[in-house]
Amino acid sequence: MNKNIYPLLSGGIDSTIAILKRISTRDFGKLQPIFINYGQKACEQEWNSTCSVSEKIAKLLEDDKIIFLSPKRIDLSFPHWSTKVFHWSRSKLITGNLAESPYVENRNLILLSIAASFVESQIEESDEGIIVTGFRDEYPDTKREFVAFMNCLLAFLLHESKKSIKIEAPIIDYGPDGKRKMIKDFQRYNDIIRLTWSCYNPVDGNPCLKCEACVDRKQALG
């Protein structure tokens, strides 16, 4: 069985470190990051960071005979999508992140389902597709129970297929307060981590320095 990795990469610190931890095993043959534009205000900054981080990671894998494919960008924010994908969410994310600390109900359920659909279209019979996430045991849809539920659901949906898809969360044990420790553990990749983007509400293309993501980043990176 061929094992292919599809990191769900947002351009942020958590998803970047999750990839760095996962690729250290080198037990896979192909890697392609997935980026999803779902209407977030900082979409283009996140996409640029995703591309920069991906380029660096590709160089780390050059000597390992691992196939690295350019990030797949999935756009859900076209006019005919933007009013539908998250229209039932109380966060009103369809118009961009409006609060300083946005949280979107069921966001990861939808994003993982979309990622899984893409992965299923890419892998061959008897292959295993692994969706790597930057989940830490923090929010309801980033906890171990949620990951276990999604893996059971994917197994059920694919039980008549020879394909296999599962979700991994390499940094889940760091928990809600583990960003500083996480960065310390991976400081050898400092040049990659500093390419990430963490602001919810950019101002003129620059970090706002006020939202929770900006505050966390400053505390973690120093």
pLDDT digits (tens, 9 = 90+) for 102-137: 556 678 998 999 999 999 999 999 899 999 999 999
Residue 96: predicted pLDDT: 44
The residues pairing with 166 across neighbouring beta strands, listed in sequence order, are 130
Report helix, strand or coil for 131: strand
C-alpha distances (whole Å) from 53 to each of 42, 44, 87, 178, 184 are 16, 14, 31, 21, 18
Q: Which residue has the tokens 């690295």?
A: 68
Q: Between 216 and 157, where is the model more confident?
A: 157
Map out the domains of the chain as residue ranges: 3-221
Taking the C-alpha atoms of residue 9 and residue 50, their distance in angstroms, rounded to an integer, is 6
Helices of type H across 62-201? 79-82, 107-122, 144-157, 179-185, 190-193
Segment 59-96, tens digit of pLDDT: 999 888 899 999 999 988 665 554 455 555 554 443 44
- Contact in structure between 13 and 193 (CB atoms under 8 Å): yes
- The pLDDT > 90 percentage for the chain reads 61
Q: Let me know: does 202 contact 187? Beta carbons within 8 Å.
A: no
Question: In this predicted structure, what is the pLDDT of residue 176?
Answer: 85
Q: What are the tens digits of pLDDT across the range 175-211?
A: 988 899 999 999 999 999 999 999 988 888 899 888 8
Sign of CA dihedral 69, 52, 138, 39: negative
Among 8, 11, 21, 54, smallest CA distance to 174 is for 21
Total-model pTM: 0.90
Q: Which residue has the tokens 């553990």?
A: 185
Q: What is the pLDDT of residues 20-32, one digit of tens each?
A: 999 998 899 999 9
Neighbour-count burial for 76-91, b at 16+ CB within 10 Å, e otherwise: bbeeeebeebbeeeee
Looking at domain 3-221, its CATH class is alpha beta
Q: What is the DSSP letter of 71?
A: P
